[in-house]
Amino acid sequence: MPPVKIIVLPSEGRGLIIVVSVSGGKDSTALILALLEAVDRGEIPRHLIRFAFADTGWEAPETYAYLDYLRTTLKIEIDVVSVDGGMRARIRHRAGFPGRMQRWCTRELKIDPLRAFHDRLIEETGVDTISAMGIRAAESESRSKMAEWEDEPEGPRSWGGWLWRPLLQWSIEDVLTIHNHHGVKVNPLYQRGHNRVGCYPCIFANKEEIALIADHAPWRIDEIRQLESEMTALRADRNEEQPGRYVHEASFFQTQRQGFTGIDAVVAWARTDHGGRQFPLFAPAPRGGCMRWGICDMPDAEARWRDPDADFPFVCGACGYEQLGEGLCNACKHPVSAR
């Protein structure tokens, strides 16, 4: 493993409130750890750092559990921002799902709630904010062209404020090194074979990720099937009021060009070999996440990962999920009760 990298706040950001966008993924966790190290070095006052998670309502149960793990292990508060009803409400409002050309989910479910959180902090404190993100250049060509520090002007497709991407030049090895240095586990979804953490599933999920969700979370596939049916019926009703408003049936994944639509057809395709025509004799082992990197510990095959020292006082009677807060279950939205 390489030495642990450090981050340095640009001089323009001194005295400003740093709001870290937390996703439950490896990069945002690495950013949390790097910032806490900067606090320990006396370079950034602890009271000027806030952590915020934009909850789409469409995350994996493991991600909600992992956020609770970070709260207890690192002794930090993670604020949760969201819109009423989350992803499901927005799907029903539009009678359809996000698409590659209409990626409204990021703007409406993440950027806008986070922007409102920043604005509220500025109004309450009179201090400007910095949006700190665990973005790395190696993730994509578009991200490789981003600046580490910038004051982005306000606009319909821009943030409108200070942006800081301190991990921009970090490698995946750098990210996992700081996890290991602090004894912090990665999200268990990576150990299962997922390459990314976020919406479960994302509209950009690949074949292997779709197959993993179908194997480990068939309830989500059932929910998507139900939503596709509901939205197709809703489109038919709206077309009666406004003929031609919708052309296609509602489908979570846009696969019309591939010659099939609907979640069941997509799952069947996800289980095929390369080319999408033949099923493998044996189910292939996952190749993403930790299996791809080869440098993070593998979990026990049947163990549901949970910090053994953490105390989770509330449990959901419907799915067994454990969490810190009372109210509704973070995973299935049923009421939780005290243990």
Q: Is the residue at 218 inside a domain?
A: yes
The tokens 């998670």 sit on which residue?
Answer: 53
State the Cα–Cα distance between residues 259 and 146, nearest whole angstrom. 36
Is 295 a domain residue? no
- 204-224, pLDDT tens digit by residue? 999 999 999 999 999 999 999
Ranges 18-27, 96-105, 152-161, 227-236: which has the least confidence: 152-161
Would you call 336 helix, strand, or coil by DSSP? strand
Does 52 have pLDDT greater than 50?
Answer: yes
Assigned domain for 228 exists? yes
Whether 197 maps to a domain, the answer reads no
Among residues 219, 249, 214, which one has the least CA distance to residue 235? 249
CA 93 distance to own-chain centroid: 22
Boundaries of domain holding 248? 207-271
Average pLDDT over residues 308-334: 64
Residue 154 has pLDDT above 90, yes or no: no
59 DSSP 8-state letter: B
**Are 83 and 17 members of one domain?**
yes
**Does residue 281 lie within any of the structural domains?**
no
Is residue 301 very low, low, confident or very high in pLDDT (cuts 50, 70, 90)? very low
Separation of alpha carbons 241 and 179, rounded Å: 55
Q: For residue 336, is it left (φ>0), alpha (ψ between -120 and 50) or beta?
A: beta
Residue 82: is its pLDDT beyond 80?
yes
Domain match, 167 and 228 both: no
Same domain, 124 and 213: no
Q: How many CB atoms lie within 10 A of CB 14?
A: 11
Count of structural domains, the chain: 3
Query: Does 195 reside within a domain?
Result: no
The pLDDT, as a whole number, for residue 209 is 94
- Please name the residue that has the structure tokens 């493998």: 280
Among left, alpha and beta (phi > 0; psi -120 to 50; other), residue 42 is: left
CA distances 269 to 31, 224, 248, Å, are 37, 16, 20
Give yes or no for residue 290 having a pLDDT over 60.
yes
Residues 179 and 214 in one domain: no
Element counts in the chain: helices (H) and strands (E): 12, 9
Let me know whether 243 and 336 are in one domain: no
State the pLDDT at residue 308: 43
Q: Specify whether 183 is located in the same domain as 215.
A: no
Confidence band of 248 (pLDDT split at 50, 70, 90): confident
Binning pLDDT at 50, 70 and 90, where does residue 305 land?
A: very low
Q: 101 lies in a domain?
A: yes
Percent of the chain exceeding pLDDT 90 equals 69
Same domain as 130, residue 83: yes
The mean pLDDT of the chain is 87
pLDDT at 334: 62
Farthest-apart Cα atoms in the chain, separation: 65
Of 246, 271, 296, the domain-final residue: 271
- Pair (179, 212) in one structural domain: no
Mean pLDDT of 124-153: 94
100 shares a domain with 62: yes
- Overall average pLDDT of the 253-261 stretch: 78
CA distance 336 to 174: 38
Q: How many angstroms separate the CA atoms of 208 and 321, rounded?
A: 25
In this structure, the answer to whether residues 161 and 217 fall within a common structural domain is: no
Helix residue ranges per DSSP H, the chain: 26-40, 61-74, 86-94, 104-106, 112-125, 141-144, 172-182, 188-192, 207-216, 218-241, 263-270, 290-293
